[in-house]
Structure 1
């Protein structure tokens, strides 16, 4: 069964379409609106199809508490309190309209991840055309139901989720009459490590749910993204920053513009390399075919003399008889005098 496509604006996403590449700004504006605008322009120049932000406040994510449950004990954000982390990382809601307008002027799609119903309502007022559901929210069934009810395309990450949890989230979307969604393989570690990426899951997700599947990639570098495209990913999402020297909660695992641009170039080259199932001979291969092996005369042969392993050989180039006829020709007689270095033809054999 052919995997279906979804449509975002004028772009179709899915099998047979160019990979849709998302630059995730996240916290990399580091609290500076001008930097956020600059990130949008840099993402466009680097080849991104879309810029993504996140819509939340510390109070819509958690509560301000010093209890042990709200402290991060390991990983990139070790030692942080959840409320304090989200204070540092959030994108002010009053910026959203400016950023959306700037993205539209720049010619790049704009969307966001809402983390509660108030964020969805806010984004609806802005006229955002599609939504992202984060891996951590895949178990928030009421939120997924509310987002799906807007009947807009959804990109949903599946990091940390069991197959059963993914199925429940998918059924929640479908129950709202929304079939415009795709799934993102994701390793919710920051940064993710290659040996835990399990990119083979991309094919399984495609076959199980019959929807476009992508990769939300938190690993360093571009190898996983390019491999994912080769394995059928229709969307790639990577965190994007102007420079890792500009510190933010996400800067350590984000790509700089030149790195992102190289990744996009590699993805586009990979797409061309994947091509289609074909046993036809390309134009460039046709030139190379002339240098394949064939049967040549390697010693002068007189008319009536037998062809032997000493006077004919299978060598390059391909101007003589095909090698498969070699044993058939041995011990037959020459019908004419043949000089060394002559490609053997049937007319030369009596």
Structure 2
């Protein structure tokens, strides 16, 4: 069994997909906006709201040397100095308690991605129910061990990672005490293209590492996330904002409330549709069999007359013999008069 629980909520094949709304830096440095994002996530049907716990100084250095400025022209943060970007995107630590309290009031789980030991210590003081390791920290095995040692469920994104790197991370987590693990297929581009998503990896993650598997999705819309459910994703994370038009460091690839609500509906429908391998009519289909084609007398015939392709046809409804018997019946004689609309049955005919 790979099923886990976060604050009592089952995550596994027998439960609808667990949906995480990632706030990231979409609060735009406004606590009121951050609280409104929590409320909107609850209204949209999220199971959890996720924060990120770091400061600019715990992430990088305040310099503009090569590598400390984003030089990828395709990045939504092209030209930004790392320290400045992280300062803008960070969630002030003094907000965390208020955000978690609002989440509890609204029936949401609230946990975070820590980026160093000080963040883990702080989050432990708030008794978070779970932890998330970001793709970029998957190779930070010391951090993974520190988080795993808390004994809380651990969610790990695998963007950019090789199979060997994932194996290192899983071994580090389990070696430090992690017993409840979810690996997320992730593509670390912003936004990500569906063609780069490779969600067929999801069942491979589950099989290779014997844990739950899901998707951290940076594509636009919810099509990729819904499709992942068919491949066994039991947890889906999407960035979330009140309005892309209002900006924010992650707004360009974040879902708005109405879109997240649609994700909740469609991901649950996708999960409900999985069912099991079945080659029998379902109970719900029982009444539909009457509308299949079957063999009927379509012209008046007298007792002793031969059945021909002129007076027998496969038509609806389905109360006669199956159409596959047509060749057997042609040339047989009817044993009594039959009017058009008489369903063919074996007792109505005899060999010529």
Shift in Å, 1:310: 1.6
Which stretch of structure 1 is more off in the superposition, 3-12 or 131-140? 3-12
Distance 1:139 1:35 in 2: 33
Distance 2:123 2:207 in 1: 32
Q: Output aligned runs, 1:37-116, within 5 Å.
A: 37-74=35-72, 75-116=75-116
Distance 1:80 1:4 in 2: 41
What does residue 216 of structure 1 align with? 216
Cα deviations by residue, 1:243-289 (Å, 9 ceiling, x for unpaired): 11221111111111011101111111111211222233234312221
Shift in Å, 1:295: 0.9
Q: Output aligned runs, 1:243-258, within 5 Å.
A: 243-258=243-258
- SS of alignment partner, residue 343 of structure 2: coil
Distance 1:255 1:70 in 2: 29
- The yes-or-no answer on 1:157 pairing with 2:157 is yes
Distance 2:199 2:134 in 1: 18
Could you list the structure 1 runs, at least 4 aligned residues long, displaced by more than 6 angstroms after superposition: none
Q: TM-score, normalised by structure 2?
A: 0.97
Shift in Å, 1:6: 1.0
Distance 2:148 2:5 in 1: 15
Cα deviations by residue, 1:141-164 (Å, 9 ceiling, x for unpaired): 111111111111100000000000
- SS of alignment partner, residue 269 of structure 2: helix
Does the 8 Å contact 1:30/1:246 carry over to 2?
no
Shift in Å, 1:241: 0.5
Shift in Å, 1:7: 1.1
- SS of alignment partner, residue 266 of structure 1: helix
Shift in Å, 1:349: 1.0
Q: Output aligned runs, 1:253-292, within 5 Å.
A: 253-292=253-292
Distance 1:127 1:327 in 2: 74
Shift in Å, 1:177: 2.3
Shift in Å, 1:299: 1.6
Distance 2:335 2:245 in 1: 80
Distance 1:150 1:295 in 2: 69
Q: How large is the Cα RMSD of the aligned pairs?
A: 1.1
- SS of alignment partner, residue 290 of structure 1: helix
Q: Output aligned runs, 1:1-350, within 5 Å.
A: 3-74=1-72, 75-350=75-350
Does the 8 Å contact 1:120/1:147 carry over to 2?
yes
Shift in Å, 1:346: 2.1
Cα deviations by residue, 1:107-139 (Å, 9 ceiling, x for unpaired): 100000000000000001111121000000001
Distance 2:142 2:232 in 1: 31
Does the 8 Å contact 1:21/1:49 carry over to 2?
yes
Distance 1:117 1:46 in 2: 33
Distance 1:133 1:94 in 2: 21
